[in-house]
Amino acid sequence: MSFTVSIQTQDFDVSQELAALRAGDARVGAVCSFLGTVRERNDGSSVASMELEHYPGMTEKSISAMMDEAKKRFDIFAARVIHRVGLLHPEDQIVFVAVTSAHRGESFKACEFLMDYLKTQAPFWKKEVTPEGARWVDARVSDDQALARWGIKASNSVAP
């Protein structure tokens, strides 16, 4: 019955998070989760490491708002979002979203909705270290389009 968000530098244990999310709630018949990890390649370059920056305060506020929206749209019992910040390397876990519901459909949808929302609305920025030097990652038009499928207009990637 909890909707919680954590922004942290330290790693997390997916099994523990999933167990905690559904513990004590026998209404739950479905748990869906998404785990995002650091790729060794991005936009044609190898990535040695990345630094994740965020806007403390607004990050938690924006993710809480998107959980409220998910509660309105889907019949879900609980959700958990974890996003790491700081220095990360290929294969590291970056982001985790998990949702519980009675049946799989609602938690599948809510999990995807939360990730689509997070990609364009939560204030995080990635800076990659590549052989060509450090560079800020560009926003993707496809992420705006992903949120548009839910009827929410995003204009994260475009200049006004």
Partner 1 sequence: MNVTLKYFASIREAIGQGSESVSTQAATLKALRDELIARGGAYAEVLAHGRAVRMALNQDLCDESAVLTEGCEVAFFPPVTGG
How big is the site for partner 1, counted in residues (CB under 8 A)? 33
3, 139, 150, 152: which one binds partner 1 (CB under 8 A): 139
Q: Using the rule CB under 8 A, which residue among 3, 55, 108, 150 binds partner 1?
A: 55
Separation in Å, CA 110 to CA 78, 97, 99, 114 = 10, 10, 7, 6
> Quick check: 136 binds partner 1 (CB under 8 A)?
yes
Q: Closest approach of Cβ 130 to partner 1, in Å?
A: 15
Q: In whole angstroms, what is the distance from residue 105 CA to residue 127 CA?
A: 35
> Helix or strand or coil: residue 100?
strand
Query: What does the DSSP assignment read for 39-66?
Result: -SEETTEE-SEEEEEE-TTHHHHHHHHH
Q: Which of 121, 129, 130, 152 binds partner 1 (CB under 8 A)?
A: 121
Cα angle at 102 between 96 and 106, to 5 degrees? 60
Of 95, 93, 110, 94, the residue nearest 30 (C-alpha): 110
User: What is the x/- site pattern for partner 1, positions 6-35, by CB under 8 A?
Assistant: ------------------------------
Instruction: Candidates 52, 88, 111, 147: give the one binding partner 1 (CB under 8 A).
Output: 52
Which residues are at the interface with partner 1 (CB under 8 A)?
A: 36, 52-55, 57-58, 61-62, 83, 94-95, 115, 118-127, 136-139, 143, 156-160
